[in-house]
Amino acid sequence: MGGTLLSHGAGPLWTEPPVDPLAAAAELAAALAALHREGRVHGRIHRGNVLREGGRLALREVPAPTGTLPAPEADLDALACAAPELLRGRGATRASDVHALALVVAELLAGRPRETPASVEEAVHAGLHRPALALGAAVPPRVARLLRRASSRRARWRPSAAALARALGEASRRPQGARSSPLLAPQARAPEPARPARPVEVPAPAPRTWGALALRRLATRRRALAAAAAVALVAGGALALARRPGALERAVAARLEARDLDGARRLLREAERRGGAGPVAEKLRGDVACAGRAYGECLRRYEAALAARPALGRDPRLRENALALAARGDDRRALAAVLARLPGLDDALAELTRSPRYWPRWNAVRALEARGARDRIDFARVYALDLLHAGSCDTRRAAAERLAALREPRLLPELTRAQAAARASWSEWRCTGPAVEEALRATRQARVAVR
């Protein structure tokens, strides 16, 4: 195996927990990294496949995965460690291996096995809705950050096994006094014997002269007056901005151009205190939130501002931010509500409905439907893209069923590609095979009828 820790058989993991869990976790991560360097995927990492071999931990070698998951009833532990994309019907990847390894490492650092789900439904629900890993305070911060990223529901956010191995290895090589093990409670220190009290000599303070004291008071008074003048100046400027919305917009825009987000927030807070709250201010808060990458807050504020004043839909910055979020694939439902209120975007949204990425496509579809522009949507093409590119098995199957009802001969090439993909993978056949075959049959019949 080229020096990896993969093993064909050894003692179980939890009969004797490792003395140094960080070092043990580093061994497992290094084993997985070596496997990935060979171009292979494990696909079955869970605590039942982590073994003890001569005082070290090893991964049990299993046959290369041919589908997405083992039979669920066979091993609930394996199902509990499965990455969300596996539960949705995708194949095993390096990222899904890293996800499973993160859960096993979290068990090692906790010093006890995780509770096994009671049923297949419970295991699948936990895998799809798992919160961020709860790690002890003794886990080094860098390791904790990487483990939380490794257990993310989004595969692209997960680090590589090699990066995880490096972080765990560096943490395990730190001096024992510089870190504490989560498996052992810190020992209480014996109290030191009481020492006899000694009189403490306090030096007498240096005598103050009236001249020095007067100078200090004068300097303090000058600083207070300067601070009061600055506050009055800011308040007066904010009052003027609150009374002139155009001035407030220009001032906030200038702060955003200078990347001074704190300054923009201060202007908006002062304007609100002086009576400057309203749809325009709400839109400006959305601009600031988008500039700070707080996209959820940005969309909520845009939606509220547009509901109160629809004319804000022509604001250039609001439109630019909304279209940028749509193009990057933001999955918040509020985005479709914002896009639906922006005039003059039918062409851009119609183009997005042809994107191979799910969220840009469906946000554009929902926005066009809300605008009453369903005639700009090529639903057959949208369903074909869902069938070929959607990550969810349910979405792909539903797309095939809709294509069977639509019977569009121009989509026969896409249906043929989907049929080949289903026949090449047992898991994909279970997901979409019968529906794709029915869609092909109905579409071919429709083509013959047209001729």
Higher pLDDT, 315 or 116: 315
Neighbours of 10 (CB within 10 A): 15
20 pLDDT band (50/70/90 cuts)? confident
Q: What value does the mean pLDDT take over residues 110-121? A: 76
Beta partners for residue 12, in sequence order: 51
Residue 80: CA atoms inside 13 Å, Cβ hemisphere, count?
17
Higher pLDDT, 95 or 191: 95
Phi, psi of 313 (to 5 degrees): -65, -15
DSSP H or E run through 77: helix 76-81
pLDDT by residue (tens digit) across 133-170? 778 778 888 899 999 999 988 888 899 999 999 999 99
426-450 and 412-424 helices cross at what angle (nearest 10)? 150
Q: 6-176: which CATH architecture?
A: Orthogonal Bundle (1.10)
Q: For the chain, which residues make up each domain, given as ranges?
A: 6-176, 388-451
Q: At residue 19, does pLDDT exceed 80?
A: no
pTM, 2 dp? 0.44
Q: What is the pLDDT of residue 47?
A: 81
Q: At residue 347, does pLDDT exceed 70?
A: yes
212: Cβ contacts below 8 Å, ≥ 6 apart: none
51 contacts 57 by C-beta, under 8 angstroms:
yes
251: Cβ contacts below 8 Å, ≥ 6 apart: 241, 267
Q: What value does the mean pLDDT take over residues 330-339? A: 85
64 contacts 35 by C-beta, under 8 angstroms:
no
> In b/e form, how buried is each residue of 252-268, taking b as 16+ CB within 10 angstroms?
beebbeeeeeebbbebb
State the Cα–Cα distance between residues 114 and 278, nearest whole angstrom.
50
Q: At residue 5, does pLDDT exceed 80?
A: no
Q: Which stretch of 129-138, 287-296, 362-371 has the lowest confidence by average pLDDT?
A: 129-138
In the sheet that holds 56-60, the strands lie side by side as: 6-7, 56-60, 50-53, 11-12
Q: At residue 65, does pLDDT exceed 60?
A: no
328 pLDDT band (50/70/90 cuts)? confident
Tokens for 216, please give them.
């200090």
pLDDT by residue (tens digit) across 366-403? 889 888 888 898 999 999 999 999 888 888 999 999 99
447 contacts 411 by C-beta, under 8 angstroms:
no
Phi-psi region of 293 (alpha: psi -120 to 50; beta: other; left: phi over 0): left
290 contacts 318 by C-beta, under 8 angstroms:
no
Higher pLDDT, 10 or 18: 18
Q: At residue 189, does pLDDT exceed 70?
A: no
Q: Say whether 419 sits in a helix, a strand or coil.
A: helix
Beta partners for residue 57, in sequence order: 52
CA dihedral 132, 136, 139, 142 (to 10 degrees): 30
pLDDT by residue (tens digit) across 416-425? 999 999 999 8
Residue length of the chain: 451
161: nearest Cα among 82, 169, 174, 153:
169
Q: At residue 415, does pLDDT exceed 90?
A: yes
CA distances from 6 to 15, 21, 65 (A): 19, 18, 16
Q: Which stretch of 221-225, 227-231, 323-327 has the lowest confidence by average pLDDT?
A: 227-231
200 pLDDT band (50/70/90 cuts)? very low
Q: What is the pLDDT of residue 390?
A: 87
Beta partners for residue 56, in sequence order: 53
DSSP 56: E
Q: At residue 318, does pLDDT exceed 90?
A: yes
State the Cα–Cα distance between residues 258 and 252, nearest whole angstrom.
10
Neighbours of 242 (CB within 10 A): 22
State the Cα–Cα distance between residues 259 and 140, nearest whole angstrom.
33
Q: At residue 238, does pLDDT exceed 50?
A: no
Q: What is the mean pLDDT of the chain?
A: 78
CA distances from 385 to 128, 356, 380, 388 (A): 24, 6, 9, 5
The pairing of strands 56-60 and 6-7 is parallel
Higher pLDDT, 237 or 222: 222
Alpha helices in 244-330 (DSSP H): 245-257, 261-273, 279-291, 295-308, 316-328
Longest alpha-carbon distance in the chain? 112
Q: At residue 293, does pLDDT exceed 60?
A: yes
In percent, the amount of the chain with pLDDT more than 90 equals 26
